[in-house]
Amino acid sequence: MILRLLKNGIDRKSWIFLSVLFAVTFGVSILNLAPTPGSTLHLSSFVVTVLGKYLTYALLALSVDLVWGYCGVLSLGHAAFFTLGGYAMGMHLMREIGPRGVYGHPILPDFMVFLNWQELPWFWLGFDMFWFAALMVILVPGVLAFVFGWFAFRSRVTGVYLSIITQALTFALMLAFFRNDMGFGGNNGLTDFKDILGFNLQSDGTRVGLLIASAVALAIGFLIARAVVTSKFGKVLIAIRDAESRTRFLGYRAENYKLLVWTLSASMAGVAGALYVPQVGIINPSEFSPANSIEVVIYVALGGRGTLVGAALGGVLVNFAKTIFTGAFPEYWLFFLGGLFVVSTLFMPKGIIGVWGHIANKWRADRARNASSTLQANTLKKGD
């Protein structure tokens, strides 16, 4: 499978994507670390962290594109998997604070001391170990998605109904996590993180490390997604997307295909969330809010559904616009976002990547025509 991926999976678009991704990542990293602060070349740590955050959103968008773009499962609840991955990482970061909390309790996080809890709930056990937390980042969203998908796909819930129940899923999780007695910090969530794997989260070096980790995660996620969609499995996914009952009559169990890609996608979203949390420094239940999941769908639609590269690009671009807009005219951001969605659905059904492909094709056709007309002109001259 790896060999096949190297042979067919990485096309020119993929190479461009990966090169740009790493060029920007390393460029920003070097410009942040090498020049002395204050020099004109120096990039602030804000840029590093914000870019890292964009890349985690890009990975989230990629995971949505995998299920929506290639299998036609429109998830309006992917922020749930993202946030669960984020909580798993947040729990590890909380445990790593140790006795340095405000209340100085050796084991219990501050909020538990505040709530007068005497001992750590069972589901916080093990999160003091990084490897365990990392495993949970993948497993918790994956298992939830598997169970959810098992029931939903087996009962052949599709289309709008599926979208609605994914939305209900994330909403239910939000309400649950808002409760203090759930044991996840309630309303305030988890914050005041100190360090990760022993590195201080406030230091530039760690921030650059997290940015590079996000870029690597995005690249790996992209390669896995490419391997999946260029395999025969991927062809079956597209067949299910376009004509599910036909695919069943061919003898493929559509529900198993959906379940596998859905679970994979959820785990990918979980990894994105886990990288997001140390960079923004907080995770709270509002990340579950249904609007977040809908926003991710906009990233994918704007960038180009079913293209992977487009989804990642959409994730970065929309969030870049968000950073600019919410700074300059915060009250208009949502209008702008809504406008973007309407414009992209009406005028760019294949998103930015589609428009780009269109222009590139036209340019190539023009060039071919010019070449052939010059050739014709030349032959004519010879004829004279």
Partner 1 sequence: MDPTSKTAILYLENINVSFDGFKALNDLSLSIRPGEMRAIIGPNGAGKTTMMDVITGKTRPDSGRVLFNDIHNLARMDETDIATLGIGRKFQKPTVFENHTVNDNLLLALSDGRGVWDTLFANVGSREAERIDEILQIIRLSKVQGEYAASLSHGQKQWLEIGMLLAQKPKLLLVDEPVAGMTDSETAETARLLKEISQQHSLVVVEHDMDFVRDLDVDVTVLHEGAAIAEGSLDYVSKSDRVIEVYLGR
Residues that bind partner 1 (CB under 8 A): 1, 4, 228, 231-233, 235-236, 238-239, 242-243, 245-253, 256-257, 260
Nearer to partner 1, 242 or 366 (CB): 242
Q: Please state the three-class secondary structure of the chain as a single string.
A: CHHHHHHHHCCHHHHHHHHHHHHHHHHHHHHHHCCCCCCCCCCCHHHHHHHHHHHHHHHHHHHHHHHHHHHCCCCCCHHHHHHHHHHHHHHHHHHHHHHHCCCCCCCCCHHHHHCCCCCCCHHHCCCCCHHHHHHHHHHHHHHHHHHHHHHHHHCCCCHHHHHHHHHHHHHHHHHHHHCHHHCCCHHHCEECCCEECCEECCCHHHHHHHHHHHHHHHHHHHHHHHHHHHCHHHHHHHHHHHCHHHHHHCCCCHHHHHHHHHHHHHHHHHHHHHHHHHHHCEECHHHHCHHHHHHHHHHHHHHCCCCCHHHHHHHHHHHHHHHHHHHHCHHHHHHHHHHHHHHHHHHCCCHHHHHHHHHHHHHHHHHHHHHHHHHHHHHHHHHC
Nearer to partner 1, 11 or 242 (CB): 242
Write down the least CB distance from residue 188 to partner 1, Å.
42
Q: Give the residue among 133, 84, 127 at the shortest CA–CA distance from 267.
A: 84
Nearer to partner 1, 184 or 257 (CB): 257
Write down the least CB distance from residue 249 to partner 1, Å.
6
Nearer to partner 1, 66 or 84 (CB): 66
Nearer to partner 1, 149 or 273 (CB): 149
Write down the least CB distance from residue 166 to partner 1, Å.
21
Nearer to partner 1, 1 or 30 (CB): 1
Write down the least CB distance from residue 238 to partner 1, Å.
6
Write down the least CB distance from residue 11 to partner 1, Å.
16
Write down the least CB distance from residue 202 to partner 1, Å.
43
Q: How many of the other CB atoms lie within 10 Å of CB of 14?
A: 17
Nearer to partner 1, 82 or 153 (CB): 153
Q: Give the residue among 217, 215, 188, 213 at the shortest CA–CA distance from 281.
A: 188
Q: How many of the other CB atoms lie within 10 Å of CB of 309?
A: 25
Nearer to partner 1, 6 or 243 (CB): 243
Write down the least CB distance from residue 44 to partner 1, Å.
44
Write down the least CB distance from residue 241 to partner 1, Å.
8
Nearer to partner 1, 6 or 342 (CB): 6
